Amino acid sequence: METESAKLLAAAIAIGVGALAPAIGIGMIGSKAVEAIGRNPEAAGKVQTMAILAIAFAEAVAIYALVVALIIKFA
């Protein structure tokens, strides 16, 4: 029974820590994109495209953390 508790705790820590950095990164990307568009509205299309691409890469890191947490829980 103790091993099951340890696995659940490890999975919770893995997804908690693994989602923290991408969340901060996505917030920073969004704030800087809005700031850049505010300074140069003509470049909104390019900034928006690059911001969405960067957010997708940051979100992929959180998905990897979720996969690791699920592996810990069910393996």
Residues 6+ away with beta carbon under 8 Å from 23: 62
Tens digits of per-residue pLDDT, 22-66?
A: 999 999 999 999 999 999 999 999 999 999 999 999 999 999 999
Mean pLDDT of 11-32: 94
Q: What is the pTM of this model?
A: 0.80
Instruction: Yes or no: say if 58 and 29 are a contact pair by the CB < 8 Å rule.
Output: yes
Residue 70 backbone phi and psi in degrees, to 5:
-65, -35
Question: Per CATH, which fold does 2-74 belong to?
Answer: F1FO ATP Synthase (1.20.20)
